[in-house]
Amino acid sequence: MDFITRLFGFSKTQEQPDVPFGRFSDAYKSEEQQQAFDRSLEAFEQGEYLAAYRDFLGYLKDEGAKAPNITWEETDGEIRFDLWQGSQHITGFANAEKVKAESKVARADDLNVGFMRRLMEANFNLKFSRFALDPENNLCIRFDTMTVDGSPLKLLHALRELAIHADKQDDLLIEEFSVLRPAEERHFGHLSEAEKEAKYAYLHRSIEATFAEIDRGKPDPNTYPGTYAYLLLALAFKLDYLIKPEGFMMDLLEKIYAAYFTKNNLTPQVKVQQIRREFQKLLDRPKEDLYKEMYRTRSTFGANPAIPHGTLASFIGGELVNMEWPMQQGHDALAQAIPQYVVGFTLFHQAPPKPDREFLHLYYQITESAFFRELGFQIPFTDEAGKLRKAEILKGIKQIVNQNRAQYTRLRPNLNRLDFASPTLFGKSFLLMIKDLDLTKE
């Protein structure tokens, strides 16, 4: 089944394209996976190291992935494993004496003091692994430990660190240093030209619409910079989730968030202009370069921490109050940016409970229906003019409830509070509906 079929339970007659969204999260482990990790810890304490590592690798396997994120085989008292993290391939082995893992980040045609110094400095911030250069001039990131010290919990943290840093550094180093090139095939699937074109057009359309709203100057961006910060940050999170970029674009979107929240002497007005310049880089970037950063990946580790529903509920309550002033002044685009920011921030930084995540994805399907349809999805939540279709939206909400009711028996969203009068009022009421959910497990 494809992503949307698994998420919303569309019938097989409604064939949906296989297009993933958002950053991978490993926070949604099944009960069987949790039991495998517990068995792994017990086996390690009893000195049954290979049995512990077998269960540990089973814990890491993403059962819902179309292509396996991890494989392994055991021969002659040794387990050899391969796992994927984004565009990076990690290989390793474990036996009675030692555990070792490695990923080739890039290959150097010539040794350059710039990238070598960069990675040497990076080593000071790594706790378990380190960057190194192998005899074939491959830049690698490595981890090893004696088996007696290699508990599953230690391996979990070490492999996570190695995999995430390998995946983050490969594109950035190759982009910056011309003497570097990929060390091996860096992805397992190509996007169709139609999907790339739809994402490229959506990227430009979204940024240009945001710039146009700023240039309208109502209200004055210099007087109300925080209001426009919501608009720009919501845009960054939305593009990251819906386009799912790699490399330069992914890093730039992360820098946009950091640029606004970093504590320094810059005023909010200056930060808004700084963020705008970063978005302009995406508009100026050649189509061919952006296309290179659109490819399929598979991952084993997620960087986003799991959060309880109460954390999301508090965040929604604290942010939606900021909608009142722009709504009262008739600045609907600025008011609507606030629920967009809440949805995007949560999906970008955190892993909320499964029903919350599915409702947040539904919000994007409703508010960005045109883009989903351009990708080939059958999205019934708005008509061609963008008007909300109440009956279809209620049906989508009920599908999420039905799929999660067995685990969350108190999941009963208050549909009566939804306001379909405008996209802005809907966004506010939809998030308030999420805020008041009871996700208590029984």
Q: What value does the mean pLDDT of the chain take?
A: 90
Instruction: Say if residue 225 is preceded by a cis peptide, omega within 30 of 0.
Output: no
pLDDT bucket at 13, cuts 50 / 70 / 90: very low
Is the pLDDT at 216 greater than 80? The verdict is yes
The confidence band for 6, taking pLDDT boundaries of 50, 70 and 90, is very low
Give the residue with greater pLDDT, 11 vs 85: 85
Segment 55-84 shows an average pLDDT of 91
Tens of pLDDT, residue by residue over 325-349, are 999 999 999 999 999 999 999 999 9
3-state SS track over the chain: CCHHHHHHCCCCCCCCCCCCCCCCCCCCCCHHHHHHHHHHHHHHHCCCHHHHHHHHHHHHCCCCCCCCCEEEEEECCEEEEEEEEECEEEEEEECCCEEEEEEEEEEECCCCHHHHHHHHHHHCCCCCCEEEECCCCEEEEEEEEEHHHCCHHHHHHHHHHHHHHHHHHHHHHHHHCCCEECCCCCCCEECCHHHHHHHHHHHHHHHHHHHHHHHHCCCCCCCCHHHHHHHHHHHHHHHHHHHCCCHHHHHHHHHHHHHHHCCCCCCHHHHHHHHHHHHHHHHHCCHHHHHHCCEECECCCCCCCECCHHHHHHHHHHHHHHHHHHHHCCCHHHHHHHHHHHHHHHHHHCECCHHHHHHHHHHHHHHCHHHHHHCCCCCCCECCCCCECHHHHHHHHHHHHHHHCCCCCCCCCCHHHCCCCCHHHHHHHHHHHHHCCCCCCC
Q: Residue 269 gets which letter from DSSP?
A: H
Please name the fold of domain 27-181.
Yope Regulator; Chain: A, (3.30.1460)
Q: What are the pLDDT digits (tens) for 279-314?
A: 999 999 999 999 988 888 889 998 888 999 999 999
Tens of pLDDT along 99-135?
999 999 888 887 878 888 888 888 898 999 999 988 8
- pLDDT of 259 reads 86
Per domain, the residue ranges of the chain are: 27-181, 193-435
Q: What is the pLDDT of residue 297?
A: 85
Instruction: Report the predicted TM-score, pTM, of the whole model to 2 decimal places.
Output: 0.88
Q: What is the pLDDT, as a whole number, of residue 185?
A: 64
Residue 261: the pLDDT is 85
Q: What is the pLDDT of residues 367-417, one digit of tens each?
A: 999 999 999 999 999 998 889 999 999 999 999 999 999 999 999 999 999
pLDDT of residue 188: 63
The pLDDT tens digits of the residues spanning 242-273 come to: 999 887 898 899 889 888 888 888 899 999 99
**Is the pLDDT confidence value at 4 over 50?**
no
- At 167, the pLDDT band (50, 70, 90 cuts) reads confident
